[in-house]
Structure 1
Amino acid sequence: MKRSLKATVGLVGAASLILLAGCTTDPSVEAPQETGETADAEWFDQELYDKQDQERGIEPEGPADQPYLQAIEPVMADTSEYQVDGAQKLCFANASISNPWRQTGWITMNEQLKALQDSGVISEMETRDAQDNDDTQIADIDYFIAEGNCDGFIISPNSTAAMTPAVERACETGKPVIVFDRGVQTDCAVTFIHPIGGFAWGIDTAEFLIDNLEEGDKVVALRILPGVDVLEQRWAAAEKLFDEAGIEAVDYFTEGDPAEIKKVISDELATGDVQGVWMDAGDGAVAAIEAFEEAGADYPVMTGEDELSFLRKWEDTGMTALAPVYSNFQWRTPLLAAEKIFAGEEVPEEWVLPQSPITEDERADFLERNDGMPDGHYAKFGGEDLPGYPQIWQDRQIP
């Protein structure tokens, strides 16, 4: 039978909304390991699960055509102490641009920067890239502090606990600090910007698979990395719902490597039918589908991501699928938040952006909107009104 089935940055729950969607693919990855474990209490947080589940159904406040300015149930922060005149210098400590999701966002962020430079809000944004290394990012933040030339800080943390003291040091300068996409365990930042979170992703995807499968069907879960909280939360939510629905789910870590993904799927198909594929990030989604084709097996019910390679393969095959989203347009929001802060306007203390999957009914529209974009581009990048559109994204010009 088929079945349907406010916390602050300083709280561990909210701080664990960390993002590593489209994680770095390492071609030297060892053979994947099936975890064979149930949802771990270290990662499953019932309060945060319930919060994100509820937020999925809340209509965000803000302009309908500007999702990067929308917010879910915002609690506003007074920023009048930061009001200044003239163009201001921002300092951006970025975790990395090591995967297609982050590269797409970085392109969009730089185009938003050009617009704010043209309007006289920002003079420049000095950026340091930590290349996925905690020690490097700590040194980057401390460099900015010692330099003393930052009118405001934007920080996309590489990890949660390790970055917390450095973020606090930036706050101690008295300049506004904006944290986005991954959290830290302090509430000293003026605003923390992020989509709803990992549990919401897990609920969206698991419910879709459950609705389209039968009790007793088998799902192979392809996971990128262990120990990354938002990814662990995606799986913890999905595993909980699969267990409750009587779906047999086995999970493997693959680091998104296409060869390893194909091996996992091929090995599973050799032992029996696989009715569903669940992914905690879209890297390698096409490889998973190709493994079914090469085995001559029926296409599975599948969840991938809003990367265009998956959307295009989904359209070509006609398979039953869903594209969950960890809203890439969030890369615009920190700069727009800085504009508001420098003007002394209120911003949400925790800026929760909408996070809505792309359904079959919406797929054609998003493919049409992104016609001509490369496969590594993300459909919900939200930069259509920015300078350089569409050429900069089509050419994949990484600043």
Structure 2
Amino acid sequence: MGAFLDKPKMEKYNSHGEGNNLRYGLSSMQGWRVEMEDAHTAVVGLPHGLDPWSFFAVYDGHAGSQVAKYCCEHLLEHITSNSDFQSALQEENSVDSVRNGIRTGFLQFDEHMRSVSEKKHGVDRSGSTAVGVMISPNYIYFINCGDSRGLLSRGGAVHFFTQDHKPNNPLEKERIQNAGGSVMIQRVNGSLAVSRALGDFDYKCVLGKGPTEQLVSPEPEVYAIERSDEQDEFIILACDGIWDVMANEELCDFVRSRLEVTDDLEKVSNEIVDTCLYKGSRDNMSVVLICFPGAPKVSPEAVQQEAELDKYLEARVEEILKKQGGPVAPDLVHVMRTLASESIPNLPPGGELASKRSVIEAFYNKLNPYRSDDTDPVILFFRGFS
């Protein structure tokens, strides 16, 4: 859904923090979309006496940003304050009960939004996916409703990832058809690309059906994973603007390689967003990176290798510009295409050449200070290379 801009909006929103033996960084960018519809939550130390617990989430809005923003401001309170969740905390073996309490929070929150919307200005037509983690001292609760995704890296590999809720998934399709709907061009009634979401009340008005039986369900899938202090590395939460262009293993490999170069989690998150933009993502992009004590540490060898790679790229950009000759230097697209045709050693895994695009552009501008500004190299790059 949504129209596109002539030029991507590349300004970023960043934040970071730490607590409960966790560190986190996040980045979001509007990109090519005409509106920024993503939102996020990052809370270390939860209300209602849950100081050792933390909660992080990414909300990917569609048909407007209202629901995503409301999720950001109110969803956590509905989860932690509902009676099912509160009673679960009093039980000794409460993992399943906590999961049920999170589910109850989502369903009650969705119904609350409907009533608020109707009282204020009629039913709001926007909706939002939600992917999050609630981290207790002993468990990681992954929460997913829609096609944003979360994953856990443990012991140097992808250990777990959430399943996207798409209309063509067999169980999702069966529910949609039982509610009188159809799946066309992999969309609910040929329109909505997700089968579960908060909001989207136009798809939740089938009489005689409960909230989890509607065309679009607000029910999250909640997974409980016991923590491993020795092996847990990091969690990535991201909207589909990230996953559209990077697979699970690719993104994990990329993050791992970046953590060996810097411990600045905002910088790593920015590199994720930039790399996905240069890989061709046309959507809003948001990512939250949460690191455990077992996350990769900065390695002098990796830092040196990165410096050598940057030095090599600068030398190659200079060679390409000199080789072209003539009064007009080649544009950035030509430089990128030339580099893409070469076998360049030690590019970041998962990110490859796209992850060095901003570095290459900086070298290009430095070595070609008198280039014409009539043609924006960023636009040239997107139109001719991605």
Q: When the two structures are superposed, what TM-score results if normalisation uses the length of structure 2?
A: 0.25
Computing the radius of gyration over CA atoms, which structure comes out larger, 1 or 2?
A: 2
User: Which fold has the larger relative contact order, with Cα–Cα distance below 8 Å and residues 6 or more apart in sequence?
Assistant: 1
Q: When the two structures are superposed, what TM-score results if normalisation uses the length of structure 1?
A: 0.24
Which structure dedicates a bigger proportion of its chain to strand? 2
